[in-house]
Structure 1
Amino acid sequence: MTKNNTNIDILVIGGGLNGLPFAIAAASAGLEVVVLERAAPEDFLSADFDGRVSAIAHASRNLLRSTGIWDHVEATQPMLDIRITDGPSKCFLHYDHRQLGDEPFGHMVENRHLRQAMAKRATEIPTLQMRAPVEYSTIERTPDGVTATLSTGDEISARLLVAADGRNSPLRKQAGIKIVGWSYDQAGIVCTVAHEIPHHGVAQERFLKPGPFAILPMTGNRSSLVWTEQTERAKVIMALPEAEFAEEMAKRFGDYLGKLTVVGPRWSYPLSLHQSERYVDQRLALIGDAAHGMHPIAGQGLNLGLRDVAALAEVVIDAARLGQDIGGDMVLEDYQRWRRFDSITLLVITDGLNRLFTNEIPPVRLARDIGLAAVNKMPKLKGFFMEHARGTVGKLPRLLQGKAL
C-alpha cells in the first residue's frame, strides 16, 4: 500500500459546528486546510445524529454570511422577541428587536441544516479538504510543526493543529491541559413541538424550579423545547410513553399556542460547565467545546464557540499575511488573550443565573422578580442586555462585525 504524505498549513480535528466554519474561514483566505471527521457524512447530516436547534445570534450570522455559509442555510426562523418569566410570577422581561433596529436578535436553525450548509460551502473552496469518516492513530507536535498519522496509514504535516473535537477532547487531554468545571446534576430534554397558534417569532425562557424551560421558535407552527430537569427526574420523563411525555411537557408549556403535538424523537443531554486552564499549547489551539462548555440557560453555547472561530481565524490569517509563523507561540497567545477572559465571563454569568433561578428561598424569589421588572422599565440597561443577546458586546473580531478577512 502506498503511503501518501500531505503538507498543509492547518489540520483541524473535528468537522462540527466549530471546526468546519474555522476551516472555511482560513481556507477562504488561501491557507491549505484539512479537516478530519470520524462521522460519515450521511450520518453527520441526518436529524437522528443531532436533533437540536441552535440560536444563531446576530453577530454569529454575520460570521456565517461573511464566510459564505449563510447562502446555503435553509429553513431559518427569525427570533424577533424574547420573553423571560420567573415561574408563576407576573413579573417579566421583554426584549423587542425593534428597539435596536430592523434586524432580529438572531435566527433559529436546525443543527443538521447548519451542518449541511457548512458542508456545501466547504466543497466550493479549493484549498479545503474534508476527510470523513477518517480518524488519526497518532499526532506528534514539535516546535517545528505537527505530524498526524491517519488510520489509513497516510501522513499529514501541518504548521497548526486546531482541536474542535468536543468537550471530552482527546487532543486537550493529550496536551495535558486541565479543565475546571462541575456537573449541575441536571439534564436537558430536547424535542420539537407542533402547535395550533403561530409563535410570531417570540422565544420564551421560563425559569421553573428544576431549571429553565425554553420555547424557541422554529419554521412553521413549530417550536424547539430545551427543558431542564434534575438528572434522575429527566430519566423518568424520557422513559415515559409518548402520551404521558406529552402530558408532562404540556404542564410546563401552557396553552398559549393551542393544542400541542410532540413531533420527531426526543433527546437528553447531561448539563455541566467546564473551562480549560489554557486554550493553547505547542502548535495547538482549542476552540468550541474543546475549550469550554456552559449551561444552555442563555442559548449561547454555539455562539461562544463561533467567537473562538472568528478570533482564531483573524489572528492566524493576519499572521500569515505578515509572513509570521501561524502556529507560533506569539500568534497563539494573541488568540488566548482575546478569548479566554470573554469565555470565563460568560460562563460565570450563566452559572450564576442557573443557581439564582433554581433557588426557591422566598427572599431570593422576590429579589429576582423585582429585578426582572426593574430591568424591563430601564431602557438603557435593557438595551445593554439586548445587545448581549445579539452577541454585539465587547471587542468583536471582524467576521462577527460582518467584515471579510
Structure 2
Amino acid sequence: MTKTFDCDVIVLGGGLSGQTLALALDQAGLSVTLVDAAPLDDMLAPEFDGRASALAYTSFRMLEAIGAADQLREHVQRIEHILVCDGRPYGGARPGGPGAHTLHFDRREIHPEEDGEPLGYMAENRHTRHALTQCLKASKWLDLRAPAKASNWERIPGGIRLDLEDGSAVTGRLLCASDGKFSRARQQAGTRTAGWTYNQAGLVMTVEHEQPHDGAAYEYFMPAGPFAILPLPGNRSSLVWTEKTDIAAAILGLDEAGLQAELEKRFGDFLGAVKPVGPKFSYPLSVRFAENFYEDRIAYVGDAARGIHPLAGQGFNLGIRDAAALAEVLVEAKSLGLELGSPVTLQRYANWRKLDSMGLVAATDLFNRLFSNDIGPLRWARGLGLSMVDRIAPARRFFMREAGGETGDLPKLLRGESLAA
C-alpha cells in the first residue's frame, strides 16, 4: 500500500529564505507545508524595526520569477555604485575619514543600459517579508502552519513526520530546515558543524542624512571592522557598524548625544548632518557551517546550512541561492519519479551549493581578518591591492558579477526563469 503524505515538502522556518523556498516550490507544482513558530501576520505589522538586507541582482530576479517583486519594487533602493576603502574614525590621534586608496564599482560596467540591472537592491526586511507573505497567503494550495512550534521530527517509511507542540503532526517526503544558524532540526539529526566566533559585534541601525546618497553604498574598513553605509529609499541609509564586542555594548549604552558623537566620528559629513532613526540592534559575529548540507529526508537551507560574517552582505543571498538550487533539483526529481528526500537527490543540491558557500565563508573570513586592524604594513598592502583592482577593469567586473551571484552554474530562478511546467 502506498503511503499517503500531507505534502511533498515541509519547510521548517518562515524567515526570508524559508518563505522564498516555499513560494518557489508551490509555484512549481509541489505541495508544501510551511511551519513557523511566529504568526505570519506579525511579520506584516507596520512598525518600523530598522533591519534591512542587501539583495543581489540575481536574487531580485528570483523574487520577480516567483511574483514577490511586484509588491516589493516600490520599497527597494537600487545600488548603482559601491565604494570600498580603508578608513579611521575622525577625532583620533591619526587623520580620520576614508583612506587614499579606493575601489569603485559602477553598475554600468556590467549593465550598461540606461535602465539596466543595478549592482543590487536594498530593502527593509519588513517589506520583503510583507511581499513574500502576501504571495504565500494568496496561494490556493500551500499549507501555512503559523504560529506552530515544532517539537521534533521522525523518519517514517518514504518520508518524515514533524511533530508540533500542540499535539498535531505533518508528514512529507522531505523536510527542508531553514530554522537558522542554531537549527534545532540539524541538531536533532546529529549533523556536525564547525565554526568560530569573532571578538566583534554588529551594530545595525537606520540613519537619516541631509544629502541624497544617489544609490551609492560605502564599505569602510575601520580598525575595529567594517562600517557599511547602505542606501535606502529617500535620504536614509542602513548601517552595519562592526566594533569589538565590549565597545559595541558600550556604544549601545550611550545616551542620545553620546551615540550621535560616535556615529559622526565614523560617518563624517559627506551626506550632511546625520542622525539615527528607529531601533538599534547588536548581535555577536560568528561563522557556523554544517559538515553536510543534507541528511536522509532532510535538507538544510540558509543559515541552517551556513552562517557567515556580514562583511559582504551575502547572508540572505546565500539563502536565496540555496532555495533556487534546491527548488530546481526537487522539481526535476519529481518529474523523473525520483524520491525527493533520498541522498541521491539531495547530493545534487549539496554539490551545487557547497563550493559557493565554502568559498564565501573563506573569503569573508580572510577579508575581515586582513582589514580589521590598524597595522601599518597591512594597511599599505591592502590599500595597494584596492588600487590595483580599481585599475583593472576585468577584475572589477569579475567582483561585481561574483557579488551579484552571477558566476558559476546558475539555477533557472536566478536567471529569472520560472520552474512552473
Letter in 2 for 1:312: L
Contact 1:76 1:218 in 2 (8 A): yes
Q: Does 1:169 align with 2:169?
A: no
Structure 2 residues without counterparts, runs of 5 or longer: 88-97
Structure 1 window deviating more from structure 2 (46-55 vs 220-229): it is: 46-55
Q: Does 1:96 align with 2:106?
A: yes
Counterpart Cα distance in 1 of 2:106 and 2:288: 32
Counterpart Cα distance in 2 of 1:10 and 1:127: 13
Partner deviation per Cα, 1:85-138 (whole Å, 9 max, x = no partner): 111421100001111122101110001111110001112222212221111233
Q: 1:298, CA displacement in angstroms?
A: 0.7
Q: Does 1:294 align with 2:308?
A: yes
Q: Name which of 126, 140, 162 aligns with 1:112.
A: 126
Letter in 1 for 2:131: A
Aligned to 2:95: none
Two-structure CA RMSD over aligned residues (Å):
1.4
Q: If the length of structure 1 is used for normalisation, what is the TM-score?
A: 0.96
Aligned to 1:327: 341
Counterpart Cα distance in 1 of 2:150 and 2:220: 43
Letter in 2 for 1:274: R
Counterpart Cα distance in 2 of 1:166 and 1:86: 32
Contact 1:6 1:155 in 2 (8 A): no
Contact 1:43 1:49 in 2 (8 A): no
Aligned to 1:153: 167
Aligned to 2:266: 252
Counterpart Cα distance in 2 of 1:45 and 1:249: 30
Aligned to 2:91: none
Q: 1:328, CA displacement in angstroms?
A: 1.4
Q: 1:327, CA displacement in angstroms?
A: 1.2
Aligned to 1:83: 83
Aligned to 1:56: 55
Aligned to 1:69: 68
Q: Does 1:234 align with 2:248?
A: yes
Q: 1:335, CA displacement in angstroms?
A: 0.5
Contact 1:55 1:109 in 2 (8 A): yes
Letter in 1 for 2:108: R
Aligned to 2:25: 26
Counterpart Cα distance in 1 of 2:34 and 2:226: 36
Q: If the length of structure 2 is used for normalisation, what is the TM-score?
A: 0.93
Partner deviation per Cα, 1:241-266 (whole Å, 9 max, x = no partner): 12211110111001000011211110
Q: Name which of 126, 144, 149 aligns with 1:130.
A: 144
Aligned to 1:398: 412
Aligned to 1:13: 12
Structure 1 window deviating more from structure 2 (251-260 vs 125-134): it is: 125-134
Counterpart Cα distance in 1 of 2:194 and 2:162: 28
Contact 1:31 1:127 in 2 (8 A): no
Contact 1:13 1:35 in 2 (8 A): yes
Identity of aligned residues (%): 47
Describe how 1:210-289 pairs up with structure 2 within 5 A: 210-289=224-303
Counterpart Cα distance in 1 of 2:239 and 2:48: 17
Q: 1:371, CA displacement in angstroms?
A: 0.6
Structure 1 residues without counterparts, runs of 5 or longer: none
SS of 1:198 mapped into structure 2: coil
Q: 1:26, CA displacement in angstroms?
A: 0.6
Aligned to 1:199: 213
Matched length: 401
